[in-house]
Amino acid sequence: MKIRYHKQFTKHFQKLPKEIQQKAIKGIKKFIKNPFDKSLRNHPLSGRLIEKRAFSISSDMRIIFEEQEDYFLVLFLDIGTHNQIY
């Protein structure tokens, strides 16, 4: 799996508190090992974000991403709370 980071993801990630950044890094590592780990709650999105997916870092923190070629390439688009990114 190849991971790419959209500039919006990077910008929002850098603004997060350090403890949330560390949780996000752990979640990303778990995602790389198994994108469908039940604890990540990987799910498709709808509405204006149709064809995109999201997974959970914590109860309210999400990462929105696009996957291509059956998870060969993943583009992380944004990170934030449910209200910030939806």
Q: Give just the sign of the alpha carbon dihedral 74, 20, 12, 61.
A: positive
What does pTM read for this prediction? 0.90
Q: Find the helix or strand (DSSP H, E) in which 82 lies.
A: helix 82-85
The structure tokens 């993801």 sit at 9
Structural domains of the chain in order of their starting residue, each with its CATH number: 2-85 (3.30.2310.20)
The 10s digit of each residue's pLDDT in 4-13 is 999 999 999 9
Tokens found for residue 31: 């995602």
pLDDT of residue 85: 80
Q: What is the pLDDT of residues 8-53, one digit of tens each?
A: 999 999 999 999 999 999 999 999 999 999 999 999 999 999 999 9
24 in Cβ contact with 57 (< 8 Å): yes
